Structures are given as C-alpha cells and as structure tokens.
Amino acid sequence: MNNSSINNTSCLTINGFIEELMSVSSNDILINLKSNTKEVFSLNKLPETSDFEIQSNALVKKIFHYAIKQKKNYDIHPLCIASHHLIWTVEKNEFKSPIVLYPLRFSYQKFNETFKCSFNQNQFFLNPFLLATLKKEFSLEFLSQSKNEAEEELNRFLNFLKEQQFPFYTESSTSIGNFHYHRYEILKELEEISSSEKKSSILEVILGNEEKNEKIYTKFDAKNLARIDPDQLEVLNQIENNSVIVQGPPGTGKSHLLCSILGKLLHCGGKQLMLAEKKTALEVIYNKMKDFSLDRFVFISHYNTKNSEFIEKLKSNWKFLEKQQTTSINVYYSQIPTKLHQLQLFFDWYQQQDLFKHYTIKYLVELEKTTAYIKAPFLNDLPSYSNWKYMKEALQIHKNNPSLFPLFSFIKIKLHKENSTEVFHQLQTIYTNFCEINEHIPIDKIEDVKSLVKNSIYTQLYQNEHKKAYFQLLLTETKRNNLINELLKWQKVDKELELWKEEIKHWKNTPSISLLESISSDLKNKNPLNLFFVKRKYKKYLKDTQIDLTLLCKNTLQYLKIHEKVLKMEQKLFSLGITEPKKEGFFVLQVCKQIDCFPSNLWSTIIDMDPIKRKKISENSQKIKNLEQNLSLLFYLEPNTEIKEVLENFIQHFSILFEHSSTFQSIHSSVLACIRKNFSIEEIDNMVIKKEWLNLQVLFPQFTSINSESLRKQFDAISTETENEKNHLINEIIQKKVQKMNEFHSVLRKPSAQLSPTEKELKQKLKDGKKILVKEFSKQKAHKGIKELLQSDAKLWIEILCPIFLSTSSMVSKNFPLQTSFFEYLLIDESSQMLLPRAIGALFRSKKVVVAGDEHQMSPSSYFKGKTSSIDLLHQSSYYLKKIRLRHHYRSKNPSLIQFSNQHFYQNELLVYPSFPIEKQAIQWTFCQDGVYENRQNINEAKELSTRLKGFLFSEKKIGVVCFSEQQLSCVFSLLSAEEQNVLLLKMKKNTLFFKSLEQVQGEECDVLLISFAYGKDENGKFYQHFGPLNHLSGAKRLNVLFTRAKEQIYLYTSVNPNDFPISCNESVNLFRLYLLDLALNKESIKSTFIPYPLEIKVEKNIIQIFQPFKSIKNAREFYVFDVVMKERKWSLDYLF
C-alpha cells in the first residue's frame, strides 16, 4: 500500500484501509493459484448437488485443518469453492485467478476419513480482489450484479473483458482452498462507512481524527452483580462518562468486570454489543451471566448461529416476562459504599496519624488503664503526635539544665540578632520598675501583680470619692440602693418637668398658682363677650394673645406642680450631700454601679484596707499597669510564677537563651504552657497521646477496640450486602423489563383518540413490531434474520426481550444495521487479538466503547498485506483512550506461577493471593537428559509428559497440555493408549482439558499445566536455535500467555539446560532461558511465599498474624478484597492493630 493513503499524521483513514485491504499480495491464491499449488486442491468440476464428500489425504487435511483453526480462533470460515479461472499476464508474469467463489461449509467424518461439504449455488460472488486489481492496474471497472445466476454473471464478466480487448483466456477448472472470502464482507462495510454522511464520534477518536470523544453521560446504579475491587470500581466510574481501555493482565478478573458492566447496562436499558474474535471468549461471558440468571437477556451471534435460535430466545423471554407478577420496583440502596466510606475515613485518619507509627491500638487500649494516663489532663490544643515528636527531641537536649530549661517556656517574643539588645534593655527596665513597686508594695508572683492591677482601680475610686459629702452613702449596699432610688426618682420627675417647660414660654413672667386659678375661674363663663373681656383683662401677662388661654392655664398649672415636686426632691438630695443633682447625679450613679460590679467583699476590703497602703496602691497604679503590660508582652507567665526569680534568671542567662532561641521558638505554645506548669516531658507525652487517642474515640468509636473479630464482622456484613445487592439488582432488571412491557401494552390498549401524535406513532410501531414477532414465534422455519428484525419495528420489543448481543467481529455486518449510535456501549474483549479494520464496523455502530485486553498477550495473525491493516485495536486505542490497569490477580493460587510474568511483563504491579497450603514447588521442571530432537519431535520428552498426563486424566482438575509444536503434540497423543486417547478427547469436549500448541493457548486456563518444549540437541549433540513460534516477533508474548495459564501447578519438560542457550538477540529466547535459570536456582520456591503487600507478618500453619495492616493497605475496598480472597483461599488472618 502507498503511504499516501494514510494521513501524514498519526491518524488512520477508512479509505486508507480500503485501499490497503484491496492490495493483496501477488502470491495470494485470490490472485494467483499458480504459485500456490499446495494451498488448493482441484475438483474435476463444480459439484452438481449442494452436498458432497471429499476423501481425505495430506493436502486435503492441511487445507481443512487450517479452516478449522481459523473458525475456532477467529470465527472465520475462509474455505471456498472456486469455479472457472482467469489466465492473464502482467509484465510477462502469468496469473491464474479464480473468478466465481462459493462459501463452503464442511464437517469431518472420522469413521471413513472424509469431509462432508455443502454449498449454495445461489450464494456466490465474483472475486472482488480480481475486480479491484483489474480496476487499479488496467482501469477496467466491472459492476457486478448479484441478482444474476452464477453462469450468467460469469458470462457478463468475460464479455466485458472481451469488449475491453483485455488479453486473457479461461479454464473451466474447479478448486477448493482457503480464499478468505470474508475479506470481501469487511471491504463492503468499510466502503459503506466511508460513504456515509454520518460519523461515529468514538470511531473518529480511535482513528486519531478527533481529539475528544463526544461526552455521553450514563448514570449507573450503585449495585453490582459481584464483589468489585478498586481497579474494577475505577473502570465502572470512568465508563459513566468516557470510553476507556481496560488493561487486564491474565487472571485479573477481566471477564468478571465485563459481566458487572453488562449487569449495570441491563439495568440502564438500551442495546449493547460485546465483541470478540473467538467464540470461546464470548461463551465465558455468557456462562458467567448464566450464573446470575441473566443469560436469557444475552444472545451469542457467531458463524453457526441460526435465525431460529434468536427467535426462540425472544419467544422464551416474552413468555417469561408475561408470567412475572407486576410489582412496584422497590429501589434498594446499597450500603456497601457507606460502609466502605466509613472504613476509608478511619483508614485515612489512621494513616495520617504519626501516633500509630509508634504505638499499636492494642498498646493504647492497655495504656488507658495506667495511672499515668488516667492522671494526665486532657488538653485539646496540644500539637499532633507527629509534631510533638520533633519538639520532644528538642526538649530532651535541654531538660537536664534545671535553671535554664523552664526559662524557654516563658519567653513570648522571637529573639533574633536585630532585637536582642532592645529586648535585653526592656528586661532591665521591667526589672527596675518591679523593684520600685516592690519597695512600697510587696509583690512576689504574677498573681500579685494582677491582683494589684484590679485593686488599683478600686483604690483610685476610693481615693477620688472619700472626701465627697455623699461618700458615707457609698459604704454599704443599703445606703447605696437608697441613694440610687432617690436619684432615679429625681431624674424621672426632672425629665417630666422638661416636657411641660414649653408652656412657660407663652408668659411674660412665670405666673403664680393663685393667678392661674383666678384666670381659670373667670373662664368658666363661656359667654363670648365675657371671654373677650377676660382676655383683655389678662393680656398684659401673655406674650401671645391669640393662644388658647384655657388650655394654657391648665398646662401651666401642671408644670408648676411638677416643679414644686422637683424642688422638694432636690432639697432631700441636698441633705444627702448631693448639692447639684444635674451635675453630680449621673456620676454618682456610675460610681454606685461600678461598686456593685466589684467582686464580692472587694469593696469592703478596700474600705478596711490600711489607708497608707491604699494610698500607695492608688499612687502607683500606672506603674503597676505598665508592669503587667510589659510582662505580658515579653512572657508567658503563670499565676504562681516568681517574678523576681524569672526576671533575674532571664537577665543572667540572656546570652544562652539567645543562643538556643531558634530551637525553642519551634515549640508549640500549648507545650510551653505545660512546661510552665512544671509538667515533665514524660507527662506531656502522655497528655499528647491521650488527646490523640480520645479524639479518635470520638470520631470513630467503633474502631477504638478494633481487632480481627470486629473487622471481620464488618467485612462479613459487606459480603452479605454484596449478595443482597446482586439479588436486588437482578430482580430490578427483571421488574423494569416487566414494567416496560406493561407500558407498551398499555399504549396498545389505549384508544387512539386519547393519544398524542407522538403516542399514536409509537402505538403503530408497537403494533407492527408485535405482529412481526408473533408471526415469527409461530413459524417452524424460514425465520427473519437478526438484522432484518432490528431494522423493523420489532426492535422496540427486542430491546426489552434481549438487549445484549455477544458477537464475533465477522458477524457484525451480517447481523446489525449499519447505523451510528445503534448500540449504547460496545465492549471488546481480547482486543489485542482483533485487527483494527475488523472492529471499525462495531465502533461505527456504538456511542461508547470499553476496550479490554492485554498488550503483553499475542497479537492477531494478519492475512492482509499492508502494515496499518495489521494494527490491533488495543494498540491503536491506547494512544487515544484513558487506560485503567487491573492489578489484582486471582488466577494463580501460588504466587510463583505468575512471578516470572509479573516481573518481566507487568513491572511487579500484579497483586497475587496465595492459597493454603502453598506448594513448595508449584513449578516442577523435569530435565530429560536423554531427550533428542529428531524429525521435529522429542520422543523421550513426550514420554515423560505423557506419563504425568496419564495420572491426571481421571482427575477432577482441569488439565492443560501445551507443546511448542503441533508435531510434538501429536507425538504425546500417540503415546497414549486408545482408551486414554478417548478419555482425553472426551475431556476436551467437556472443556475440562485442553490439548494445544503454543500459538493456540491464549484464552485458556487450567488447574494443572503440562508443557513440552521439545526443541533440543539432535542425535549428534548439536542444538540448533530453531524454536518455531518462539522465534517469531511475538514470541515473548506467547511465553507470557503460556506461563500464566495455570492456577495450581506447572510441569515443564525440556531436554536442554539454561546453559545450553547462547546469549541471543531474540528477546523471547532470552526470556525462556531466564525462566529455566530461575527454576535451576530454585528462586520460585523462595518467592512463592506471600502476600501482595509489604506487611509485617508471622505465619503458623494457615494462620497469618498481620501487624498494623493499615500501614501498607491504604484503601478500604482493597483491604476488604484482600481479606475476603485470603479467607476464600483457606487462610485465617489475625490482625494486630
């Protein structure tokens, strides 16, 4: 293929694939049979009947066995009958190309060693690759018409060549070979996708033509069909929004995860597609869904699937759902996330606490009972244990200096070079101030200073008031209360007087009460003439003659009465010593309130105090306040701190304090407070532990007495909840389908007059769709195909009855309409074995994709010529989709079985769980010293293996036999008796044994694996480095697949030692040599020991004591999975916290 057909960027194009797939090799039997005589065998003529037999011979066996292998591995049927051959010449090279191709079905009849074949003469097509070559090389484009019969179409083609004067001649010969005609189906689909106006977002992303996939959000139910580990949970969370790659190394529960996804998708609704190259991979998923009783909603589509099987599935499900009782769906909310979240909070807290790096929970529980712990006060502002640890180290250095050590706890300000001199002068000033005060008023401790500060306020009050006339009334509470009452009454009446004061302003002079009474008497006569003369008579007293005289007299009289009352009250206050109530009243009240706010008996103390002392305190009040303030600025001081001693020590040791200040300035203030209170470092240590431990008890009371038993109860509760989840999820899936069917039938029963236009349209579709299905249910044969049904209105019912399809890639174009977003999700298993072009059709039909595979397992074999057509889907997707690796390995029951692959392929990321009892030698290597590699087989080695195999033939264990070549496999088989061969074949049929060559083993697993390397020295002692599939580019991947098949044991047989292998540039040969070298050094028995986390453990029989597991297992779900899996593998775990 020309590079111009691929974008210059990393992107790939559909047209590029089409061009490349059409560019078959000149040696391909579709183009030239002359150079491939051993790839086909000839028939005398095209069989006259659709069924015929072919007698077996070496060439026939080779061709048919290849077809069998392709069918089994890739669900591909490459075998065809080719009728008539075109002989033509290009650049002097003569080609013989088949013209008409008929797909051929067959079966092997062992009793007479014949192949029974069948074909349909109406199902044919002209060789598409011949037509493409003629178009490309000679510009001859022939348009085939499939509606014609074969002979008519052949004549049309030959006449077309004659008309174009193309030089050729034909042979009327017939041949059978593996023409891989299915390539034509891929090409047809790619051409349709290329010409489609619609685009698939996810396909464009994977091809590299778009940076981001269209965001399609799917909300999954929290319930799961089975236990989910943290990696699987991340996948489930991610695929709600995104398409992802699941990198699933062998035995990491990939199939288990895919089933969990399918369960959630069944709950969500919509059509889903799962894709794989091998039918066996799909059967694994189907059987797992069967374990959950959900297989009825899943259909496997492969080459041999009959239309009747799909109809029978739909019919069975229709009856099943009709029989179900209609109940309301009681939504069950899973408690697992809550339980694990609660445990995770404890994990997170535990791992953050440095306390648990030094003490176990068991130790702390015992510590609670000690006297030192009980006596230790609880201080919540103490630092965390991790911080205290560093402070403790700093304090330990200085604790032996009793005079210096406590001083550090007092200093408040940060000492540094710039302020040291200033601080020292401040200390001296404070000391001088202290001495001056102490000369008049004895003070020793800081509590004395604080007391004097309070007393100075009261003494000042006393000194200010004791010479006042009312002072005696302040001495007792009774007299103060009487005084307060009199002042308050006076204030009230005085305020009232202010309200009437405006009335006086209307008089020229303040009238007497007698005058007001006289005026009021004259005004009683309401005669207008009388009122006129009264006003005239008294107008000389008024400023405003227009005022209402009657009202004015009334108000003025009221004012005079209140005024008289005020005067009497002021006379009484005067007698009490308050000569000017307006000036003194407010102040006196404030003084009284202040005295009442004094602490009890303090006023009496001040009154009874020695007058000289009281005077001294009052006079030095400012100095006392300054002393307290300065001490507070520089020091943290406790009430009982000896001031003089502290100040003198500070001044004396200032230079030393300054030298070590940086150390002690890092100490938390709460710790310094404890030191000032004379707590020892040991006592503070207990206090910090107590604070941390009590806080934990408040936050997680259920974990304060955590032990194996309590933790197991929680895990058992989660396991019980997992089972409940599964049952409720399955029930909800069924009930939702019943509910949906009832909704559809409700629409069908509802009169059209009551329906909206949209509902009418739906009703018609449901009606037509149901008719189609009912008709199909009544048929005995000639059923509609899956694609035809999905293109009809029956698809609405099919989405309820069977919404999940498991399909091989070769069946996608045949069974599913070519529509974008036809499927909600596409799940692809074993994606490393799927060629990208074979996945394009499925990707085009899907909204989101989950690509599951392992980059370290075998890549697909390609029958295409071009390089890009040989790219596998996993490789391409890995550059454009988010990758999530599954790390928990569940297959190998002995870690040594996976150890080599884990080290050389998976960077030791796999977490492996051992089983009890652990085999000391899970991998047993037998060196066959007399083994000779001759005629592509090693008989002595085969004898050793067959002897071991005979012992396992009647075992209940699943056995795997793998040889590095087909010839060695045949040799092993021939060494078995006829009875043993029959047993082996029967076990293969029951899938309890597989018997395969190296390149066929991917996807298998077994309990016990027997391997024969076969290659070795010849009879002359020469060791040729011809290792068949091991020499191939993917040889290392083949080894990885091989070494990861066994669950319990591997028996390896070789006739060579690691020393027999020279250092090679071939990676796979070097890996095999290293594998043998590890076995030779007996490394596997050393590393078979233990658990997948760096835990401190002690093992006795099947009991594993694990010390402080939270240190290494930091995820609650991971811890739960570890515990449950180890328990399933017969271990008893004893956690010591």
> Is 119 or 643 the better-scoring residue by pLDDT?
119
- 300-309, 580-589, 958-967: which has the highest mean pLDDT? 958-967
Q: Write the DSSP symbol of residue 41.
A: E
Q: Which residue has the higher pLDDT, 1002 or 736?
A: 736
DSSP state of 502: G
Under 8 Å CB-to-CB from 3, ≥6 apart: which residues? none
**DSSP result, 976-988:** S-HHHHHHHHHHH
- Hey, what amino acid is at 984? L
Is residue 957 pLDDT above 80, yes or no? yes
| Lookup: tokens for 123 | 């199902």
Long-range pairs for 508-512 at CB < 8 Å and ≥24 separation? Answer: 508/540, 508/541, 508/542, 508/543, 509/541, 510/560, 511/541, 511/556
pLDDT of residue 703: 67
Please tell me the predicted confidence (pLDDT) of residue 851: 97
Mean pLDDT across the chain, nearest whole number? 85
More confident residue, 426 or 889: 889
Angle between helices 128-138 and 182-195 (to 10 degrees): 60
pLDDT at residue 868 greater than cutoff 60: no
| Token output for 919 | 């085999």
AA identity, residue 389: K
Q: Are 819 and 807 in contact (CB under 8 A)?
A: no
CB atoms within 10 A of CB 655: 9
Q: Which residues pair with 1133 in a beta bridge?
A: 1104
Query: CA-CA distance, 1036 to 1028, in Å (whole number)?
Result: 13
Residue 84 phi, psi (nearest 5): 65, 140
Q: Which tokens belong to 357? A: 């790096």
Q: What is the pLDDT of residue 10?
A: 35
- pLDDT of res. 399: 66
Percent of the chain with pLDDT over 70: 93
Q: Count other C-beta atoms under 10 Å from residue 393's C-beta.
A: 10
Q: Which helix (H) or strand (E) holds 870?
A: none
Q: Measured between alpha carbons, how far is 667 from 412 in angstroms, rounded to an integer? A: 11
**Cα separations in angstroms, 606 against 466, 701, 748:** 12, 54, 100
Sole residue written with tokens 């445990």? 343
Q: Which residues have a Cβ under 8 Å from the Cβ of 145 and sit 6 or more positions away?
A: 153, 156
Residues in the chain: 1137
What's residue 525's pLDDT? Answer: 78
Residue 508 CB partners (closer than 8 Å, separation 6+): 540, 541, 542, 543
- How far is it, in rounded angstroms, from Cα 822 to Cα 805? 12
Strands 93-103 and 79-90: antiparallel
pLDDT of residue 28: 83
Separation between Cα atoms, residue 142 and residue 155, nearest integer Å? 12
C-alpha radius of gyration, the chain, whole number: 50
Instruction: Provide the CB-side half-sphere exposure for 88 (13 A, CA).
Output: 22
Q: What is the pLDDT of residues 216-271, one digit of tens each?
A: 888 998 899 999 999 999 999 999 999 999 999 999 999 999 999 999 999 999 99
Burial of 172 (0-12, 13-18, 19+ CB in 10 A): exposed
Token duo for residue 470: 């009312």
In our burial notation (b when 16+ CB lie closer than 10 A, e otherwise), range 715-726 reads beebbebbeebb
Whether the Cβ atoms of residue 391 and residue 399 lie closer than 8 Å to each other: no
Residue 551, Cβ density class (10 Å: 0-12 exposed, 13-18 middle, ≥19 buried)? exposed
Q: What does the alpha-carbon distance between residue 226 and residue 257 come to, in Å, rounded to a whole number?
A: 9
Given a cut of 60, whether residue 1087 has pLDDT beyond it is no
Name the DSSP class of 1035: H
Query: How many alpha carbons lie under 13 Å from residue 724 in its C-beta half-sphere?
Result: 12
- Match domain 920-1074 to its CATH number in 3.90.180.10, 3.40.50.2300, 3.30.70.100, 3.40.50.300: 3.40.50.300
Q: What is the full DSSP assignment across 750-784?
A: S-GGGS-HHHHHHHHHHHHHHHHHHHHHH-SS-PP
Q: What is the pLDDT of residue 805?
A: 98
Query: Looking at 69-186, which runs of residues are DSSP E strands?
Result: 79-90, 93-103, 105-109, 114-118, 125-126, 169-178
Q: Between vectors from CA 975 to CA 974 and to CA 978, what angle results, nearest 5°? A: 70
Query: Reduced to 3 states, what is the DSSP secondary structure of residue 606?
Result: helix
Give yes or no for a cis peptide into 860 (omega within 30° of 0). no
pLDDT at 636 over 80: no
Asked if pLDDT for residue 1085 goes beyond 50, the answer is no
Q: Where are the domains positioned within the chain? A: 22-180, 340-440+662-708, 446-621, 898-918+1088-1137, 920-1074
**Residues of the chain with pLDDT > 90: what percent?**
38
Is the predicted pLDDT of residue 102 greater than 50, yes or no? yes
| Most confident of the following: 349-363, 576-590, 879-893, 1056-1070 | 879-893
Shortest CA distance to 452 belongs to which of 601, 262, 625?
A: 625
Residues with Cβ within 8 Å of residue 323, at least 6 apart in sequence: none
Instruction: Output the 3-class SS for 902-962.
Output: HHHCCCCCCEECCCCCCCCCCEEEEECCCCCCECCECHHHHHHHHHHHHHHCCCCCCEEEE
DSSP state of 1112: T
Separation between Cα atoms, residue 675 and residue 311, nearest integer Å = 86
**Over residues 197-222, mean pLDDT:** 85
Stretch 425-429: mean pLDDT: 85
